[in-house]
Amino acid sequence: MSKRISKKKSKNSGGKKNTLVKETATAVEVEESVSTSQEAVSKSKTESAEEESIRITEMDMYLFGQATHYHIYEKMGAHETVIDGKKGIYFSVWAPKAMEVYLIGTFNNWNETSHPMTKLGEIGIYDIFVEEARIGDLYKFLIISESGDKLYKADPYANSAELRPGTASKVAEINRFHWTDSAWMKARETKNNFTGPMAIYEVHPGSWKKHIYRDDSDEDKFYNYRELAEHLTTYVKEMGYTHVELMGIAEHPFDGSWGYQVTGYYAPTSRYGTPEDFMYLVDYLHKNKIGVILDWVPAHFPRDAHGLSEFDGSCVYEYSDKRKGEHPDWGTKIFDYSKNEVKNFLIANALFWVEKFHVDGLRVDAVASMLYLDYGKQDGEWLPNEYGGNKNLEAIEFFKHMNSCLLGRNHGAIMIAEESTAWPAVTGRPEDDGLGFSLKWNMGWMHDFLDYMKLDPYFRKDNHNRMTFAMSYAYAENYILVLSHDEVVHLKCSMFNKMPGSYREEKLANLKAGYAFMFGHPGKKLLFMGQDFGQEREWSEKREIDWFLLEEPVHRQLHDFVKELLKLYNGNPCMYEMDTQVEGFEWINADDNFRSIFSFVRHSADGKNNLLFVCNFTPVEREDYRVGVPESGTYTLVLDSDEERFGGSGVKHRKTYKAEEQDCDNREYSIAYKLSAFGVAVFKF
């Protein structure tokens, strides 16, 4: 915000001055006066330009109607500015079918008629400048619909919101934060996310950790964003994760939705603090070389009266036909991707998080529900496209537009699709008819992996292909292997309780073998909070994860094992640099179903540092397990789950093994090793 410049009179310091001095002083004063006048004119012009730039113009409305106003959030919503020399807040809202729109808030004691808004054009944007409004004020739009109904709506473009159960928007300032992550942002521009490591820690901030109070009536025990910055960073660095993926950051009214039913797309939830507090969290993580990914929900929105649903009494943000505009199973509304203004709202929102809040990428929720018109619907509940098919052609175009724009403008950022079907080319280039995502959650691998791991080891031999099938399509997309929050809720049990076995040690041994297989398999990685130490209870947003389990040796041993896996992953490029290339992976034995043992190699690009994995998925110890190896030479044991610190027997195994010229697994050379029950051995060569 500009300030008026007032010229100060210069004063002599006292004593007699000769004429030359006086003339010189006069010349200096004239020069200073001219300089100051030029500065004042320049600042006046800047101030005038700022006053003009905040207002919605015909060009703004044109671009908005073309879905190409990528900074529309700088105009829509509520913004502090100076207009006609007066400081206040400029408000604007899109309500195309409204008969009238009024601004109500704390600045006018919620008076319903004192602040009518002005309709700017046929597109249906209304605006008003309120001199008496200030940062921190609560407000809503009172919209009079065509039928005469009064609708009290929160601002779709608001940058902050009242803490639930309140539903008002809050005027916020998001342009004053001092970022200190320039080194990270510059490095991101040249980053190759496909050949670099990516081990993601998925976090629900409200239940990662909570403050413990003696007064249990205090429901809000959340860590705020600034507290999270310190504690979360410490944990993530200690473990070795490269990224955090944050759930439920955009404002949402109901804790139990975990943030997947959004009412404030442009507002970091006030549960954990202010927008600047959230910026601090991102900045802090970046300074500690940790990437930040947000869950993002462009697939649907809730019916809450203050939200986007029937915003001006008509279907503004959602499809008007219920067969396209509603999810019967979820009870939510579906965005109308045929409307340019709606597409602009969403595309600009994706850019908002990446460019304004420095977020490194978005994980896009429920992509399949957007792509298929019949998703979750019975016959008669959905409307075919113009060709009679079940593909949402408008959503397809939306994805291509959004991904091309965001990734084109922000080199090094990532867009991740949670897409649960076999839709082709999700990570393909839009110019080749792909959707343009960077990465895709590998849901097929996840389902097969969990189906296998749940089995009693006796029956695993008959389901061996569940662990090998994913390699038949591993290079069809750029994949992330995920064990997310979705797998430990809704009576699905925790990862710990999915495992077979009647006692803790056996369940945790299964988890160690499973995690080792996951980290060795091609694809980036994601684990949900609590899974790295064997959380026993199913996850609930109402309580923090069970950190107390780390006080028990068996859970600490799993925790240490996962930490060692992450160390192995980050320290060996063969684990990630060729994830999308066939040459990066090689089965040694994919067919040892009778013993339920898998052996494979991860190759490095230069061929100099490779890893051999051997994973045993039965409680049977193999005293002298022989495995084929690709070549002669020395094989060094770099990870052994049988170490005492991981809960193993503690038997000391030698560290180096010379390949013997003995046929095994159709290989000329092999090594023999004592493989423990549910044992994992990783060798470098």
Confidence (pLDDT) at 32 = 45
Q: Mean pLDDT, to the nearest integer, of 359-378? A: 97
Confidence (pLDDT) at 213 = 67
How many other C-beta atoms can be found within 10 angstroms of the C-beta atom of residue 58?
A: 10
Confidence (pLDDT) at 23 = 39
How many other C-beta atoms can be found within 10 angstroms of the C-beta atom of residue 192?
A: 8
Torsions phi, psi of 367, nearest 5? -60, -40
Note the Cα 583 to chain centre separation in Å. 30
- The Cα–Cα gap between 588 and 659 comes to 14
- The Cα–Cα gap between 426 and 441 comes to 10
Confidence (pLDDT) at 43 = 45
pLDDT tens, position by position, 22-61: 333 444 343 444 444 444 444 444 444 455 578 999 999 9
Q: Is the pLDDT of residue 391 over 50?
A: yes
Compute the half-sphere exposure of residue 461: CA atoms within 13 Å on the CB side of its CA.
Answer: 8
Q: Hey, what amino acid is at 441?
A: W
Integer CA distances (angstroms), 268 to 161, 173, 335, 440, in order? 8, 13, 21, 25
Task: For residue 375, give every residue at least 6 positions away whose Cβ sits within 8 Å of its Cβ, in sequence order, or none.
Answer: 327, 368, 369
Is residue 319 within 8 A of residue 309, CB to CB? The reply is no
CA pseudo-torsion sign 239, 240, 244, 245:
negative
Confidence (pLDDT) at 216 = 55
Nearest to 642, CA basis, from 583, 561, 530 = 561
Task: Identify whether 84 is a catalytic site residue.
Answer: no
Task: For residue 61, give every residue at least 6 positions away whose Cβ sits within 8 Å of its Cβ, in sequence order, or none.
Answer: 120, 121, 123, 125
pLDDT tens, position by position, 162-219: 999 999 999 999 999 999 999 999 999 999 999 999 999 999 999 999 997 655 555 5
Q: Which helix (H) or strand (E) holds 480?
A: strand 479-483
Q: Is the pLDDT of residue 1 over 50?
A: no
Is residue 371 within 8 A of residue 365, CB to CB? The reply is no
- The Cα–Cα gap between 347 and 233 comes to 30
Poorest-pLDDT segment among 40-49, 236-245, 296-305, 589-598: 40-49
Confidence category of residue 589, pLDDT binned at 50, 70, 90? very high
- The Cα–Cα gap between 168 and 66 comes to 30
Poorest-pLDDT segment among 46-50, 87-91, 148-152, 329-333: 46-50
- The Cα–Cα gap between 80 and 90 comes to 6
Q: Mean pLDDT, to the nearest integer, of 326-339? A: 96
- The Cα–Cα gap between 577 and 195 comes to 4
Mean pLDDT taken over the chain: 92
Is residue 580 within 8 A of residue 207, CB to CB? The reply is no
Confidence (pLDDT) at 46 = 45
- The Cα–Cα gap between 171 and 332 comes to 27
Per the DSSP assignment, residues forming a β-bridge with 585 are 602
Confidence (pLDDT) at 26 = 41
pLDDT tens, position by position, 85-121: 999 999 999 999 999 999 999 999 999 999 999 999 9
3-state SS, 298-325, equals CCEECCCCCCCCCCCCCCCCECCCHHHH
One DSSP character per residue, 217-248 reads T----BPPHHHHHHHHHHHHHHHT-SEEEE-S
- The Cα–Cα gap between 55 and 68 comes to 18
Q: Which residue has the higher pLDDT, 606 or 36?
A: 606
pLDDT tens, position by position, 638-655: 999 999 999 998 888 899
Torsions phi, psi of 420, nearest 5? -100, 10
Is residue 520 within 8 A of residue 611, CB to CB? The reply is yes
Choosing from 47, 127, 418, 643, the catalytic residue is 418
Task: For residue 102, give every residue at least 6 positions away whose Cβ sits within 8 Å of its Cβ, in sequence order, or none.
Answer: 112, 113, 114, 115, 116, 117, 141, 142, 144
Compute the half-sphere exposure of residue 148: CA atoms within 13 Å on the CB side of its CA.
Answer: 0
Choosing from 51, 365, 592, 640, the catalytic residue is 365
Strands 669-675 and 622-629: antiparallel
Confidence (pLDDT) at 651 = 86
pTM of the model: 0.91
Task: Identify whether 219 is a catalytic site residue.
Answer: no
Residue 201 corresponds to which tokens in the numbers above?
Answer: 């820690």
Q: Mean pLDDT, to the nearest integer, of 113-138? A: 97
Compute the half-sphere exposure of residue 635: CA atoms within 13 Å on the CB side of its CA.
Answer: 26
Q: Which residue has the higher pLDDT, 10 or 562?
A: 562
Q: Which residue has the higher pLDDT, 40 or 395?
A: 395
